[in-house]
Structure 1
Amino acid sequence: MTVALLMIDVQRSFTARDYWDEGHVASWARAQRALLDLARARGVPVVRIYHLAPGSGGPFDPAMGLIRPLEGFEDAADVVFEKCVHNAFTDTGLETWLRARQITRLWVSGIRTEQCCETTTRVASDLGFDVDFVSEATLTFPMQRLGRTWSADEIRARTELVLEGRFARIVDVASLASE
């Protein structure tokens, strides 16, 4: 089984969002770095995926200059794809690239846990890929709804709950390193 690391939306655009909180970033950044280093050590291809919102005038608009690697993650990727939707497959060429290399297993990581990382995981599973959702290497932030604040840990736990055994295997970097 050939594997690839997906680094989803690890881009500077997020630093311009009002919910960006360095307090949530530190532990994720350590895990994301460890996963990236593990991939490099094992010869696992690194796939960088950027989210774009052309013409929006916001931080995901290429004209704003923030569609570039997040500081600390400027490492060269084996391939880069750009997406304008929540999953990394629609209209990107990612599936074709993976299949041409006979890649059947994906390590999913990046920003945001419950949005682009989860959605990409669901689509990848539906397309027949084996997915390892490296939860500690996904980042999210607290969200509010109906007067309640959902913590980043609650959002991550919910994502793990709905993905585990249905769409992905929930793993951490240490478990991948020990395989």
Structure 2
Amino acid sequence: MSKKAALLVIDVQQSFEHRPYWREDDVPAFRDALLALIAGAEAQNVPIVHIFHSEGESGPFSRASGLVRAMDWLPQNQAVSFEKHVHNAFTDTGLGAWLEAHGIGKLIVSGSRTEQCCETTTRVASDLGYEVDYVTEATLTFPMVHPATGREYSPQEIKEKTELVLADRFAAIKTVAQALADLEPAGAARLPA
């Protein structure tokens, strides 16, 4: 029997658009994948949980910036929102208590950034006993430069590394279609139009 699920949409917030590493390159594919995942979850009555990151008294992630809010294209159909101040969505947010109160044992992870808040939340969720589906195509990240070697890692390389370390240890790596199909009994899966 499958566990009751919730979709976590992590840090899909305007703050990122004001960081020096922000790039639009991968945003259209990410947006399309995330919107399909959200629509499919909503069609199957899976609660959508928005997580936002805030920190400091200044800068784009500060509450005072006015940027700790959903990107303009993100639907406001969430069941609940939480604000975090560290990389994972559980520490001091109330998320765990909300999930328990609603009998949720499975999490579908999406959002920004792939290797930071999404990956860290996945690891913590697994350690707390949740079943986790990690939907890489519905995550976003940016190129990173290794501080010692100067080598730049592409978003694709970072996503592959994240899948490598999470797969079969902390999460099942799924496509949008696979994550949505797994929410319904075998043979009854449907995708949003």
Alignment TM-score, normalising by the size of structure 2: 0.90
Following superposition, the deviation at residue 89 of structure 1 comes to 0.1
CA distance in 2, matches of 1:176, 1:9: 20
Partner of 1:23: helix, strand, or coil? coil
Superposed counterparts of 1:53-72, under 5 Å: 53-55=55-57, 57-72=58-73
Map of 1:16 onto structure 2: 18
CA distance in 1, matches of 2:13, 2:32: 16
Task: State whether residues 90 and 96 of structure 2, in contact with CA within 8 Å, keep that contact through their aligned partners in structure 1.
Answer: yes
Superposed counterparts of 1:1-179, under 5 Å: 1-55=3-57, 57-145=58-146, 146-179=149-182
Letter matched to residue 29 of structure 2 = S
Letter matched to residue 90 of structure 1 = T
Following superposition, the deviation at residue 135 of structure 1 comes to 0.6
Following superposition, the deviation at residue 178 of structure 1 comes to 2.7
Task: State whether residues 108 and 179 of structure 2, in contact with CA within 8 Å, keep that contact through their aligned partners in structure 1.
Answer: no
CA distance in 2, matches of 1:169, 1:49: 21
Letter matched to residue 20 of structure 2 = D
Following superposition, the deviation at residue 31 of structure 1 comes to 0.4
Alignment TM-score, normalising by the size of structure 1: 0.97
What are the Cα deviations for residues 136-174 of structure 1, in whole angstroms up to 9, with x where unaligned?
Answer: 001001100121000000000000000000000000111
Following superposition, the deviation at residue 74 of structure 1 comes to 3.6
Higher Rg: 2
Letter matched to residue 101 of structure 1 = H
- Where do 4+ consecutive residues of structure 1 move more than 2 Å? 176-179
Count how many residue pairs are aligned between Structure 1 and Structure 2: 178
Following superposition, the deviation at residue 33 of structure 1 comes to 0.5
Letter matched to residue 103 of structure 2 = Q
Structure 1: runs of 5+ lacking an equivalent:
none
Identity %: 54
Normalized per residue, the structure richer in helix is 1
Following superposition, the deviation at residue 175 of structure 1 comes to 1.1
What are the Cα deviations for residues 112-131 of structure 1, in whole angstroms up to 9, with x where unaligned?
Answer: 00000000000000000000
CA distance in 1, matches of 2:39, 2:23: 24
Letter matched to residue 37 of structure 2 = L
Map of 2:187 onto structure 1: none
CA distance in 2, matches of 1:69, 1:166: 31
Letter matched to residue 167 of structure 1 = F
CA distance in 2, matches of 1:128, 1:163: 15
Task: State whether residues 160 and 170 of structure 1, in contact with CA within 8 Å, keep that contact through their aligned partners in structure 2.
Answer: yes
Letter matched to residue 147 of structure 1 = G
